[in-house]
Amino acid sequence: MPEILAARYEGVTAGSGTLDVKAKLAAMVAEGGQSVRVANEAFGGDPAFGIVKHLFVQYRRGGTTLEKIFAENTSVVLPADPPGANKAVVNASITSARLEATDGSVSRDVTEALRKLGTKPYSTTIGGDFGGSDPAVGKPKRLRIEFQRDGKSWVKYVAENKTFNFPADLAQGETVPYLRKSFVLKMPVRSAMLYATALGLYELQLNASRVGDHILAPEWTDSQAYDVTAQLANGTNVLGAQVANGWYSGNIGNFKINYWGSSAALLARLEVTYQDGSTERIVTDGSWKMAPSPLIATDNFLGGIRRPPRSPGLEPTGLR
């Protein structure tokens, strides 16, 4: 069995975003015989919007250190564990679990059903009657798992009729990351307009001040335009954002979760006009930085879950 030394899901462009997926791949290797598709859905997010991505893996096999790169949208087959090997590589414990209708109307405690499956690695399909009777016949459901990992509280969702792999699927919890882009203005500004839309919902900040007054942007329209001239400062500026599932990949009434897609995305363009008439554009691309936020999960119908920040300075203005 190979030992995973490093694993990154990242943009192929130098300096673009990256996700550390070492823990997730190590857990899957320990379970053995699995196949993972190199895509945003497999690794819990898009580290480089609009940029082609790949999976970089550094591993040790038989005393030799090797490196491989797997292209986006290809599948990686992870080898099986040798018989008798220790597979408990993700230090996570389930604290509670509920099988719930995605519209939030009803749920049932299934904590004991998961605990009965034990603490060794296993896979189980989450049917509508998982752990007992169906709590919401005819409605789409999901399993909501609260768990502890590395001394922190996390939440994980598993859609109905999908497979839950313990402990591999608990290598990462749900999160709504901070996105951040810093830029420097070259000269005095005459005007600045910020255009934005999203697959999902978005909220923007410019220099730590909220942009606009929308609560669920882009709402039912295609996009918004904001005059942000007064929010710009001389020299270095910081544009920050968060993107949530919304109607695109969250719950939308009688439809299932992830009805239109599974990965939220932001598209934004800041157009700056300088006093001399020249212009500059700052757009969403692979140069943006990403970091975890205190917001673990958010949903139109079920609300959000927030945890205390691990340290000060996690807001967009503190991610330099």
Quote the longest CA-to-CA distance of the chain.
72
- Please enumerate in sequence order all residues whose Cβ is within 8 A of that of 282, keeping only pairs 6 or more positions apart, or say none: 181, 183, 239, 269, 270, 272
Per-residue pLDDT of the chain (320 residues; tens, 9 = 90+): 678 888 899 988 877 888 888 888 887 777 665 678 888 878 878 888 888 899 998 888 777 888 888 888 887 776 644 333 333 357 788 999 999 887 667 889 999 999 998 888 888 889 989 999 999 898 888 898 988 887 776 778 788 888 888 888 887 666 677 889 999 999 999 999 999 999 889 999 999 899 999 988 998 888 999 999 999 999 999 999 998 888 887 767 666 666 776 567 899 999 999 999 999 999 998 788 876 677 766 777 666 555 544 333 333 332 22
Cα distance between residue 155 and residue 149, in whole Å? 10
- For the stretch 262-298, pLDDT in tens is 567 899 999 999 999 999 999 998 788 876 677 766 7
What length does the chain have?
320
80 to 10, 26, 85, 87, 164: CA distances (angstroms): 25, 12, 10, 11, 18
Which residue segments constitute the domains of the chain, with CATH numbers given? 3-77 (no CATH), 92-170 (no CATH), 178-318 (2.60.120.260)
pTM, to two decimals: 0.51
- For the stretch 189-216, pLDDT in tens is 999 999 999 988 999 999 989 999 998 8
Handedness of CA 305, 308, 314, 315 (dihedral sign): positive
Instruction: Copy the structure tokens of residue 239.
Output: 């544009």
